[in-house]
Amino acid sequence: MSTREIDDRAARPGRRTTRRTLAVTATAAVALAGMGGPALAKGPGGESNGNPNTSKKITQAVDVDNVWAHLEEFQRIADDNGGNRAAGTEGYEASAEYVEQVLQEAGYETERHPFSYPRTRTVAESLTVEGESLGVRVMSYSPATPDGGVTGTLAAPAVDPEGCDAAAYGEGADLTGQIAIVSRGSCAFAAKSLVAAAVGAEAVLVYNNVPGMVNGTLGEPDPGYVPAGGMTQADGQAVLARMAEGPVEATVQLETVDEVVSTFNVLAETSQGRDDNVVMLGAHLDGAQEGAGINDNATGSAAILETAVQLATVNKLNNTVRFAWWGGEEDGLQGSDAWVADQSDDELADIATYLNFDMVGSPNYIIGVYDADESTYAAPVEVPDGSIETEDVFTDYFDSIGQPWVDTMFSGRSDYQPFIAAGIPASGLFTGADGTKTEEEVEMFGGTAGITYDPNYHTPADDLSNVNPEALDIMGDAIAHATLSLAQDTSEVNGKRSAGKSGKPHPQGDLPTADEGDEGDEDAA
């Protein structure tokens, strides 16, 4: 998930009252040791369902063991490619080849959608405090430190630890030759960097105000910035304790390089169904540059991959289902943005709704659904019509099986952003990233309060051991249910109905929309 934060107002999921609810083949084959064709859908006794055309059958068919097998392949791919699956790398190419081969074996034709974009790649990020190495994360758009880094005495604001304005450092403060250390809090990281520069600091370090690492962005380039890096809360507090005893010297090195990434998305769709009423699912295939990216986001990629495999065995679908594995999400939603931009208005109008799955196996998980109806969180983006009804597909399912769930902010901070910007309804699932788990959430889902949902988010430790199988199982079933449900009927979302093996429109026509007249057409209901 691309969640480099511009400011410090991080969303935390909270409970709400429940509501009703093309063909381009791979350029090279990937070696899949022991991997045959897609597993047939199985019932609880091991018998083949053959045609998993009900919610019960499709959720049984999308078995967590099969999803886990895909995760093992993504981990193997990362291990074979320098521990990395970032966009533009050999690890990403191999990940895409694996997805393509599984899809082709299941009967799909696959398409690569190419695109390019500029990227700033981290070359060095290190922090040494009195000889001890501490973790630091360079912020996006931070200027680089000079060769060898910046060395100086650490200085904290004398008045307000957040360092949001010059007054926070005290009257006449002069940090020339020093490194500012400030708390995450109520203002943008860019402001902290500009203020640190204004009082003469050589660099600024921002420690978290909750457990976990700060993954920040300065938002855009600015010649007034000083180099800026993020720290964990624990390291920040430990350094402040040392500073209380006397001067503390540190060296920080933050270096990046600019490059152009040429990469691609992978897409496939069912051969059945109404092609002017497409249900679309997406998950980003790339990982962060720091590691293998297994929870973020091999989990979402694996879950929709297995859903595609099993959906291919359903003998009748009313609506086309299109699957997308996005590239460049970690660099700012590059792949999904490029794909949406390349579609015509008519092609976009054919998409009934978009479902996004970014991190669905967090180790200290919540079961989160995007809050399209804003019953818990006000959305900072415009919520397209039909999104609430798409949300209902997930929440009604969870309610029907007695599964607790919470809202997560409908923020547009993942690959659904380009779709909602185009007016396409959307929803999705999320098990949490760098937010902190509450006691109430522990009562609902288990786990540990006071630590982040994924303590290994955007780190080298985001490997196969960083995935909670129970969360993956719950979310995999919900994805399967929602996919099949919408593949058969989107009338609650957009008023369009389909019937018959041909996938042609319903004989009685589509339901009228609000601006077309009556909503309550009893004959069409």
Show which residues are catalytic: 329
From first CA to last CA, the distance across the chain in angstroms is 39
Half-sphere exposure of 96 (CA within 13 A, CB side): 31
Q: What is the dihedral of CA 91, 96, 98, 104, to 10 degrees?
A: -170
Cα–Cα distance between 497 and 338 in angstroms, integer?
30
Closest CA to 410 of 384, 440, 436: 384
The CB density around residue 170, as the number of other CB atoms within 10 Å, is 13
8-state DSSP, 45 = T
Task: Reduce the DSSP state of residue 384 to 3 states and report it.
Answer: coil
Sign (positive/negative) of CA torsion 77, 79, 85, 91?
negative
Calculate the alpha carbon distances from 298 to 78, 176, 420 in Å.
Answer: 11, 45, 23
Task: List phi, psi (to 5°) of 270.
Answer: -70, 150
Using only the alpha carbons of the chain, give its radius of gyration: 24
The CB density around residue 506, as the number of other CB atoms within 10 Å, is 17
Task: Reduce the DSSP state of residue 75 to 3 states and report it.
Answer: helix
Helices (H), 62-184: 64-80, 90-105
Task: List phi, psi (to 5°) of 65.
Answer: -65, -40
Cα–Cα distance between 36 and 301 in angstroms, integer?
19
Residue whose tokens read 């006794």: 45
Q: Is 107 exposed, middle or buried (0-12, 13-18, 19+ CB in 10 A)?
A: middle
Residue whose tokens read 């057409």: 521
Q: Which residues of 254-276 are buried (b: 16+ CB within 10 A; e: fewer)?
A: bbbeeeebebbbbbbbbebbbeb
Element of type H or E holding 308: helix 299-311
Task: List phi, psi (to 5°) of 347.
Answer: -65, -40
Closest CA to 298 of 428, 181, 413, 462: 462
Q: Can you name the residues that pair with 505 across neighbouring β-strands?
A: 498
Cα–Cα distance between 58 and 482 in angstroms, integer?
10
Cα–Cα distance between 452 and 276 in angstroms, integer?
42
The CB density around residue 507, as the number of other CB atoms within 10 Å, is 8
Q: Let me know: does 100 contact 27? Beta carbons within 8 Å.
A: no
